[in-house]
Amino acid sequence: MKTTIIALAMVFGASAAVAMPSHNLDLDVTPANGGAWVKLTQNGQPVSGASINDHFMTGDNGRVFVYVDSEPAKSIEFIAVTPDGEAASARALIPRH
C-alpha cells in the first residue's frame, strides 16, 4: 500500500512539473557530433540574444551551436535565458565526436 501511494505521488508530481508554464518558450535541441544545435522560440518566433548555458548566445534566427567537450556520449541539460530573464530547459544525449 505504501509503495502504491509513493508511486501515485511521483506520477502526479511529474504531471504538475510538466504542466508548469514556460512563457510559451520552446527550446529545441538537435544533437550533433561534438555538440548540439539549440533553437529558442517564443510564441513561434525566434528569440535572439538568449544565453544558452551561460557561454553561448542565440543569433537573429534563435539558433546557436553549443559545443560539448566530452569523449563519451553524455546527457547534457541545456538552459536558455531570454534577455527578459525568462528561462527554459531541455536535456539531450550528445554523441561523442
- Cβ–Cβ under 8 Å, residues 48 and 62: yes
Among candidate residues 46, 47, 64, the one with its CA nearest the CA of residue 55: 64
**Residue 20: is its pLDDT beyond 80?**
no
> Is the sign of the CA dihedral 17, 19, 23, 24 positive or negative?
positive
- What pLDDT, on a 0 to 100 scale, did the predictor assign at position 34? 84
Work out the pLDDT band at 22, boundaries 50, 70, 90. Answer: low
What is the fold of 22-94? Answer: Immunoglobulin-like (2.60.40)
